[in-house]
């Protein structure tokens, strides 16, 4: 007869005691020891339901080149000043490491705009304050590549890692889209990023449209906040009048599959 250690014996006793009767509801035995009990936990949600013209709710703050940031029609509106890199950024200290991000977005001028959403973000803004993090970026047609991509910001420089073209039908101004973005630490040296994009009025795709395993050392095994970027291709002396919008933000804890 095989000898079972005391700890393992007690654990099996707990399982046997917890097993349901034949006509009882099934029990998820994997959760008896609290295994992955944090998976799927809602970390943060924001519907941006404030009055028109109100500020983005706490704890959001402007950290870079924000011309307009308010709530309009139950969505967060954002617009940058025109510069040689026209990017507005709002930041919130919501702790993120291994997460799934879900949100809605729309752009007033699909030909000139993009929307970025960062996790593991350090509160920095580009090279001015050494920004760092992982992002999903949805863009219009300003570089003839409408679609969704995963990015990193390292030492204040934004770098595209992988891109997927927009789903049919072609992206359009004023149309609401939804994004799902996952960031998962695979091992001590690599993080998996994957994303998908679809019209809110349509059906969510089953597969991931873009994916990348990133080994950037300074972005491994860290936690950080979240940030929303509003990008415009327009530069001085051109004015920027179009806004981007985000809404229905949810961040869910993610565990190793």
pLDDT digits (tens, 9 = 90+) for 212-224: 999 999 999 999 9
pTM for this prediction: 0.86
More confident residue, 95 or 9: 95
% the chain with pLDDT above 90? 82
Mean pLDDT on 90-117? 98
Check pLDDT > 80 for residue 190. Answer: yes
Check pLDDT > 80 for residue 35. Answer: no
In 3D space, the residue among 126, 165, 161 whose CA is nearest the CA of residue 143 turns out to be 165
Q: What is the pLDDT of residue 158?
A: 98
Q: What is the pLDDT of residue 169?
A: 81
**In the chain, where the domains are located:** 1-37, 38-253
Sign of CA dihedral 27, 29, 34, 36: negative
CATH number attached to the domain at 38-253: 2.60.120.200
Q: What is the pLDDT of residue 28?
A: 35
More confident residue, 18 or 68: 68
What are 42-94's pLDDT values in tens digits?
A: 999 999 999 999 999 999 999 999 999 999 999 999 999 999 999 999 999 99
Is 89 in contact with 63 (CB distance < 8 Å)? yes
């Amino acid at each position: 007869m095989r000898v079972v250690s005391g700890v393992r014996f007690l654990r099996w006793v707990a399982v046997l005691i917890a097993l349901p009767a034949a006509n009882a509801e099934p029990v998820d035995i994997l959760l008896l020891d609290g295994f992955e009990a944090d998976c799927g936990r809602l970390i943060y949600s924001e519907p941006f339901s404030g009055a028109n013209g109100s500020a983005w709710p706490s704890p959001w703050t402007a950290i870079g080149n924000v011309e307009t940031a308010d709530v309009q029609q139950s969505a967060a509106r954002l617009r940058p000043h025109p510069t040689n890199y026209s990017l507005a950024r709002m930041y919130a200290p919501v702790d993120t490491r291994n997460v799934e991000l879900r949100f809605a977005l729309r752009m007033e001028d699909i030909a000139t705009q993009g929307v970025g959403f960062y996790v593991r973000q350090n509160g920095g803004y580009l090279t001015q304050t050494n920004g760092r993090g992982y992002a999903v970026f949805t863009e219009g047609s300003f570089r003839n590549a409408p679609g969704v991509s995963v990015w990193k910001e390292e030492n204040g420089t934004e770098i595209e890692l992988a891109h997927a073209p927009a789903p049919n039908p072609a992206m359009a101004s004023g149309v609401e889209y939804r994004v799902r973005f996952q960031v998962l630490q695979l091992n001590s040296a690599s993080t998996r990023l994957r994303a998908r994009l679809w019209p809110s009025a349509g059906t969510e795709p089953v597969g991931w449209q873009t994916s990348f395993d990133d080994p950037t050392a300074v972005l491994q095994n860290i936690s950080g906040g979240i940030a929303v970027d509003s990008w415009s291709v327009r530069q001085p002396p051109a004015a920027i009048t179009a806004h981007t919008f985000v809404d229905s933000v949810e961040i869910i804890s993610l565990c190793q599959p």
